[in-house]
Structure 1
Amino acid sequence: MVIFVMLIVVLLPPAVCDSQMFNCGRWDPQLIHHKYYQPGDLIIGGIVFQNMFQINPNTSYQSPPQPQLSRMFIQSYQGVLALEFAVKEINENQQLLPNITLGFNICDSYLEARGTYRATLQLISPKDRFVPNYKCDNMSSLMAAIEELTSDISHQIIDVLGRYKILQLVFGSAAVSMDKNQVIPVYRGEPNGVHQYRGIIQLLLHFNWTWIGFITTDEINLQWFRKDMFPEFSRNGICFAILESFSSLAIDKEETALEFYNKIMNHKVNVLVFYGDIRSMLCLIWVLNAGRKGTSHRQRGKVWILTTHMKLKYSASYNDWDIQDFHGTLSFAMHSHELLGFQDFLQSRNLSSSKEDGFIRDFWENAFQCTFSSSPLGHAERAACTGEERLESLPEHIFPMSITGQSYTIYNAVYGVAHALRAMYLSNSNNRAKMEGERRFQNQHPWQLHHFFKMMSFNNSAGDQISFDQNGELVAGFDIMNWVTFPNQSFVKVKVGRVDLQALPDEAITINEDAIIWHSWFNQARPLSMCSDNCRPGYSKRNKEGEPFCCYDCIPCPAGKVSDQKDMADCFTCPSDQYPNKDQTSCILKVVIFLSYKEPLGISIAICALSFALVTALVLLLFVKHHDSPIVKVNNPSLTYTLLISLLLCFLCALLHIGRPEKVTCIFRKLAFGIIFTIPMSAVLAKTVTVVLAFTATQPGSTLKSWVGKRLANSIILLSIMFEVVICIVHVTISPPFPVTDMHSRNEEITLGCKEPSPAIVCSEMVYWGFLAIVSIAVAFLAQKLPDAFNEAKFISFSMVVFCCVWLAYTPTFLTITGKNKVALKILSMLASSAAVLVFIFFPKCYIILWRPELNSRKQLRKRKR
């Protein structure tokens, strides 16, 4: 019969009912026992579920079944009143729809497919007849339908009303599973399931719950979750210990229910996310009740996280289960604000409020636990209903006086339709005139409303902005509710937070943790739901084989790497300008070092260099002052002065290597070091050669007399310097020095310096200086038998030996050390080698000049060694 009725709807166009052709009163309109009709120029349809009937499946539509109410969801009645309240406000507001009255037609779907089909077809039938697809009498115009549907029947109902292009606003679990590619647009009165799951992710991350269970009632929803949402949970570091559906475990007997109960309630995981609708909630209650009866040990506490459609609605006929199972539950609810005048409207509700209200009598009996004498479901043990009972006297868990998220959604949906109607009638000047003075609407069709509803945006009486996005989904957030239960089977839901997915990620969720009451199992401490303890900074995670990715071991970071946060997947290397601390938990900025005048080493070297330079300058002044003395004249004063000046420059050259390296100083260091240090070497060589030639040339018949003089000394010095200049030019051309930053030689320091020459250039330079020193030593050795008074050779030899030892020790050490120690070694080598020449060549002469002047005479200079 259902298929027959559906074929009528789909195949036949709307027509005027002819009683001869079709008996408009053939079917009993009382098949829908709970409905509420209020006439108006335009009708808004409503499909809700408040009751569940036990209907014989063999009953046909040709005869009404006997009413056998099995369960009533008392709180759902507030949604009916919210729709009535919204229509009442709109009709009283002459600014919104002047000269137009809205009516409504609300039918109960009884939370089953057959009743939902019947309610849908009733919306497109006359008021007192069940004649789908026909217009009998003066049938009012159905412009929109607000539907609370479950996912298993949503598509069929949407297709039925979509045939007439009627505007549909759907809420309930159907709003999650609707096809986005509907030919006729269907609007969701709440954000879809993807947004809700993202809110759940934010909630889990806030409490650091990374190991959870996910449960749903059917395999279809589970497969959808695996495909679309599982990757997003994984990207946020959340893994699943349980991923099951009721249907996957074939829960149809108490044995399988007990198996399922043990699997979820005795598992170590503490947080369970349950997706479904009100029927899923009833199924879960049955499973928990069956499981508790079949086990004797104490039940582990769980933190249930329920979606918006999972409601703990009071049912007077279903009270044989322990409500404490859901103590501490966190649930999502549509965001709501109190509406001005709504509580007064509820308080004024009584049996005489509306005779057309088909919901109120059964609601009254179940809410107040009384009975009417005419009730077919009369309970002899109950007191008689007086009709004067007050809704505000009911406990909050039976009937809340504050508006619920579902009622708030229905209220906003009605106002959305009203604003769209206003925009449609004001779309042109002719309609505006009709709206102001006439009451003719026959030219308006429901399909015209879609265009205006898409662009609809308004602020409701609570100040919230109501609009729909490009997918036809309500732009709204979620409230987070905490369920607090009591031993007398009562409960309250306390708002403890909110999720706003339009906000920035860091501001998407706000929670008042202090207001949350947890399950007694957790002793009022924040529950933990992690497979493994957090890895402390300094450690990284290593996944356990065969376990979810959130189950891991913690291993220390390898040398040179750090982890600065908890639960890092891998340790990382510090930037080049930082180094790991001792615990490998953070990176410390490296200290920038160079040989500076501000540190003890730099100051000591500078003082030492200046002291030697001062001594050299004093020796030079001493020799200039005594330039006429024999000991000065006999040793070639020009070479002596040249040697002293070059030594003075060598000591001052050391100061160039102290301070922050710059490009100019790097080049100048290289040139000064190479050339200035060649001058004293060449001067010593020239001095030695001059001494030997001077004594050799005095022998009878010697031909070397012509070589003795300044020309030979100058030639030796110039040739030696020119060769060094060539080496420096090659170095600057091939590998020019420039400032470099050494970040790797030392773990805790960044060394600033100049680019060092290649080992080949260093060795060539050292070889050249060694050659000059060895030649000087060899020549001086030839002069060892000369008279003592004239004999500088022994002092030159000794100074050159020291000079060679210093630089021979310098070369291998220079190639192995790093940092400012390399610069310090170079300076100390410069000072030591220069000081050796100064001390061993000039101090004996200074001693004679200052303390043994009697030896500084021509007579003494002519003495021969005996």
Structure 2
Amino acid sequence: MFTWVPGGKAATSRQPEHISRMTAQFHYLRRVHFRDPLGEDVHFNEKRELSSLYYILNYASLIERKMIYRVVGHFNASAQKGNQLLINNDMIIPVSICSKPCLPGYKRILKPGIHKCCFECLPCSEGEISNETDSVSCRKCPEDQWPNDMNECVPKPIEFLSYKNDIAVLTVSILTFLCFLKTSTILGIFILFRDTPVVRANNQTLSFILLVSIMLSFLCVFLFLGRPTHVTCMLRQTSFGIIFSVAISSILAKTIMVYMAFKATKPGSSWRKFIGVKITNCIVFFCSFLQVLLSIIWLSTSPPFPEKNSHIYKDKIIFQCNEGFMLAFSILLGYMGLLAAISFIVAFLARNLPDRFNEAKNITFSMLVVCSVWVAFIPSYMSVTGKNTVLVEIFAIISSSVGILGCIFFPKCFIILVRPELNTKSGLSRQMKIKL
């Protein structure tokens, strides 16, 4: 059994119930035909479309908050294709504005007491963007991003002392390597001439310890360069603090030995029993052990760690080492300064002792250089930001190490290499004609 439905298609009696119901309803809708209040015919065509005329209205808001509208076109579904939609552009109500459109990168700000069609264009604040015309607000970029010239949020550049594209790192690396080679050469000279009076004066063992400590201090500079890691952040301050403390302790032991040697030359002096290798070794060990103990406490409680600091600069991220427990870092530097100050005072008091082997004057000048460098380091370190703080500390390390090397060992190398006739007991017993 077949039932005819609109469109000329046949359906069996096994059609779903809801399809049969819709077919029956449209059978009655096809008979709908009436006129609306505007006099237009309302009826359905063969495609089940409402073949009526739709008017297109253009609404506009007046200053008095009243709305007006105007017929600017119509849509007729029963018309031929291409003629269904007709719009009269001359009838469209123009938009009333008294300001130019706000370009991307700006936001609209309404002027108080003036209609909303009048506004100002203000640039977005730092770290914000607007990538649309006439935007009413700006969008803040994420913390690790920054606006570019295309009004897009792009990742901030990460800055650290890189070996690849930083001239300062290359300069520091070359300077440090040259200083390391120079110290190694001096150590080789002292080992080669270890039995001469100049090298044996004031304990050659302490001189060797001091030279090795200076060499290691130069190598510590490379821990401050490159991309920070957990290992380098934990080692760079503590390793330099321990190594430089050994160097200053050796100088302190040298100075004390000069003073004790002069006191022991007096008849019946009780200072003679204190002169020996054990005393100097105890001074170096004890003074260095305190720095080692402080470093262990620092690393076990609140060790330094790498971090990306985006608060120093707004347009870039500083990849740096967070020192963690700043009090421990301050004590570490303060302890090295205390050892240098004590060495300076003792060497200053012993500078005029009548001993031809006396190098207290040289030690006095070296400690004066060290103290001046680290006193100037504190305000410089606190006043700079970013990777410049690392460069300031590197400069202090190199300057203090070069100061010790130049004031204590360069005069001895001059005698060994240039004036070998003075590198004898008789030569040193005479009044030296050169100034060390």
TM range (shorter): 0.7 to 0.9
**Secondary structure at 1:540 match in 2:** strand
Shift of 1:761: 3.0
- For residue 607 of structure 1, the aligned residue among 165, 174, 179 is 174
1:597 equivalent in structure 2? 163
* Whole-angstrom CA distance in 1 between matches of 2:390 and 2:162: 11
Question: Separation in 2 of the partners of 1:537 and 1:771?
Answer: 60
User: Does residue 1:519 correspond to 2:122, yes or no?
Assistant: no
Pairing partner for 1:836 from 403, 407, 411: 403
Q: Does 1:483 align with 2:96?
A: no
More helix by share: 2
Deviations 1:250-300 (A, max 9, x none): xxxxxxxxxxxxx95xxxxxxx575xxxxxxxxxxxxxxxxxxxxxxxxxx
CA offset digits 1:807-842 (Å, max 9, x no partner)? 111112212312111111111110000010001000
Distance 1:709 1:577 in 2: 61
Evaluate the alpha carbon distance shift between residue 849 and residue 170 of structure 1 in structure 2; reply closer, same or farther with a 3 A threshold.
farther
Q: Residues 313-341 of structure 1: CA distance to partner in whole angstroms, max 9, x if unpaired?
A: xxxxxxxxxxxxxxxx4x4555x8xxxxx
1:780, 1:794 within 8 Å by CA — same for their partners in 2?
A: yes
Residue 16 of structure 2 aligns with which residue? none
Partner of 1:806: 373
Aligned partners of 1:643 and 1:683 also within 8 Å:
yes
Q: 3-state SS of the aligned residue for 1:731? A: helix
Whether contact under 8 Å (2:3, 2:12) holds in the other structure is: no
**Structure 1 position 145 matched with structure 2 position 18:** no
Deviations 1:478-519 (A, max 9, x none): x995427xxxxxxxxxxxxxxxxxxxxxxxxxxxxxxxxx63
Deviation at residue 579 of structure 1 after TM alignment: 3.0
Match for residue 285 of structure 2 among 718, 726, 743: 718
Q: Retained in 2: the 8 A contact 1:540–1:569?
A: yes
Which residue in the other structure is 1:234 paired with?
none
Q: Does the C-alpha gap of structure 1 residues 170 and 713 become closer, same or farther in structure 2, counting only changes over 3 Å? A: farther
Q: Secondary structure at the match of 2:29?
A: strand
Cα 1:756–1:818, aligned 2, differ >3 Å: closer, same or farther?
farther
The reply to whether residue 573 of structure 1 matches residue 140 of structure 2 is yes
Give yes or no for contact 1:745–1:818 (8 Å, CA) kept in 2. Answer: yes
Q: Using the TM superposition, give the Cα deviation of residue 529 of structure 1 relative to its aligned residue in structure 2, in angstroms.
A: 3.7
In the superposition, relative to structure 1, how do residues 481 and 829 fare at CA in structure 2: closer, same or farther (>3 Å)?
farther
Shift of 1:623: 0.1
Is 1:538 the equivalent of 2:141? no
Aligned match of 1:795: 362
- The within-5 A match list for 1:638-657 is 638-657=205-224
Cα shift readout 1:427-460 (whole Å, capped 9, x = no counterpart): xxxxxxxxxxxxxxxxxxxxxxxxxxxxxxxxxx
2:393 corresponds in structure 1 to: 826
Asked if 1:765 corresponds to 2:332, the answer is: yes
Residue 241 of structure 1 pairs with residue 125 of structure 2 = no
Distance 1:811 1:150 in 2: 94
Counterpart of 1:704 in 2: which secondary structure? helix
Q: Are 1:637 and 2:207 matched, yes or no?
A: no
Question: For the residues of structure 2 that align with 1:704 and 1:333, how far apart are their CA atoms?
Answer: 121
Secondary structure at the aligned position of 2:356 is classed as helix
Question: Over alpha carbons, which structure has the higher Rg?
Answer: 1
3-state DSSP class of the match of 1:744? coil
- 1:616 aligns with one of 173, 183, 193: 183
Query: Partner letter of residue 682 of structure 1?
Result: S
Distance 1:556 1:853, change over 3 A: same
**How far does residue 580 in structure 1 lie from its aligned partner after superposition?**
4.0
CA gap of 1:565–1:850, structure 2 versus 1, over 3 A, is same
Amino acid at match of 1:772: L
Retained in 1: the 8 A contact 2:76–2:85?
A: no
- 2:35 and 2:208 mapped to 1: Cα distance? 109
Structure 2 residue 302 is matched with structure 1 residue 735: yes
Shift of 1:852: 0.7
The percentage of counterpart residues that share the same residue type is 36
C-alpha separation between the residues in 2 aligned to 1:816 and 1:840? 30
Q: Aligned-pair distance for 1:707?
A: 1.4
**Gaps spanning 5+ residues in structure 2: where?**
14-24
Q: For residues 728 and 628 of structure 1, what CA distance do their matches in structure 2 show? A: 37
Which of 667, 671, 674 lines up with 2:238 in the alignment? 671
- Aligned equivalent of 1:861: 428
In structure 2, the CA distance between the partners of 1:592 and 1:148, relative to structure 1 (3 Å rule), is farther
Partner of 1:501: none
Q: 1:693 & 1:724 partners in 2: Cα distance? A: 25
Q: Which runs of 5+ in 1 are unaligned?
A: 1-40, 44-85, 99-140, 154-168, 173-187, 191-195, 201-211, 215-239, 249-262, 265-271, 275-303, 305-328, 337-399, 404-478, 485-517
Q: Distance in 1 between matches of 2:238 and 2:267?
A: 46
Indicate conservation of the 8 Å contact 1:616/1:648, yes or no. Answer: yes
Q: CA deviation at 1:643?
A: 0.1
Q: 1:654 to 1:143 in 2, by over 3 A?
A: closer
Q: Cα–Cα, structure 1 residues 552 and 707, in superposed 2: closer, same or farther, change >3 Å?
A: same
Separation in 2 of the partners of 1:616 and 1:142?
Answer: 104
Match of residue 21 from structure 2: none
**d(CA) in 2 for partners of 1:143, 1:803:** 106
